[in-house]
Amino acid sequence: MNFIKRFEVRPGRKFHLRDCDPGETGNVTKASAQPLLAKNIQRLAELQYQLYAENKRALLIILQAMDAGGKDGTIRHVFSGLNPQGCRVTSFKAPSADELAHDFLWRIHRAVPAKGEIGVFNRSHYEDVLIVRVHNLVPKSVWSKRYEQINRFERHLADNHVVILKFFLHISKDEQKERLEARLRDPRKNWKFEPRDLEERKLWDDYRRAYEAALIRCSTDHAPWFIIPANKKWFRDLAISAIIVDTLEKLDMQFPKPKYDLAKLKVV
């Protein structure tokens, strides 16, 4: 399966998330996915090393999802083989007083990975056209302008050699219910449950519409969105890892040439 072609939101394409199957696995089985995922994780580690050595560009991964959508699980599994020295995960919570005193992209820009590094955003600047929109935290006249502001920001990053991949982990409402109930049943997951999750769940349709607008208006050639079927965690991990590996391989990264004439050097 060509995961990029299958799941990329092409610029200008209009759609409804209810028409996208969150349980899709194509012709892939769980048994066949496991060795493919292991291969992708190993390859991603090799490509990270090359990205670091070349030191010409950065990779920014953005993960967004409904509550219990699997962002944490994706980070644990897909990026498990990376060298922590060259990979940083940033989780964006409710903005602090200091962050609110700046424009909404200020805290985001500070977390963008440097050249040679991989950055993973658990939530992102898209919260400012998602939760902000759903809960009317700012007027529509404010958040409606942010789509284009985001596009210009991501264009700026791309022009400065930041490769951007954005993944929406698409789960069904029934799947979310099962995952939230699991947090109540399992003592090891109780800490993850918040009563607020139940209130947010009531706004499912509002969030769906907000996500549709963000995906349609902010998927570009230089910063594409991918709608990843995420009901099956193993398929989610396989699809995301395959897209990242394919994207990095197409960069045709090169190891830098040595600064010295190694033929004249000898280790004694």
Tens digit of each residue's pLDDT (9 = 90 or more) over 186-212 = 999 999 888 999 999 999 999 999 999
CB atoms closer than 10 angstroms to residue 184: 11
Q: What angle do CA 152, 108, 248 make, to 5 degrees?
A: 75
Tens digit of each residue's pLDDT (9 = 90 or more) over 73-101 = 999 999 999 999 999 999 999 999 999 99
Least confident of 5-14, 19-28, 156-165, 188-197: 188-197
User: Residue range 111-135: average pLDDT?
Assistant: 98
**Predicted pLDDT of residue 264:** 86
User: Residue range 256-261: average pLDDT?
Assistant: 90
Q: Which domain holds residue 129?
A: 3-264
Q: In this structure, what DSSP letter does residue 11 have? A: T
Tens digit of each residue's pLDDT (9 = 90 or more) over 115-126 = 999 999 999 999
Instruction: Count the domains in the chain.
Output: 1
pLDDT(263) > 90 = no
Q: How far is C-alpha 121 from the geometric centre of its chain's CA atoms?
A: 6
Helix (H) or strand (E) holding 54: helix 30-54
**Predicted pLDDT of residue 1:** 87
Structure tokens at 172: 């069904």
Structure tokens at 124: 């992102």
**Distance of alpha carbon 29 from alpha carbon 260, whole angstroms:** 50
Question: 92: domain CATH number?
Answer: 3.40.50.300
pTM score, whole prediction: 0.97
- Mean per-residue pLDDT of the chain: 96
Per residue, the 3-state secondary structure of 110-152, as one string, reads: HCCCCCCCEEEEECCHHHHHCHHHHCCCCCHHHHCCHHHHHHH
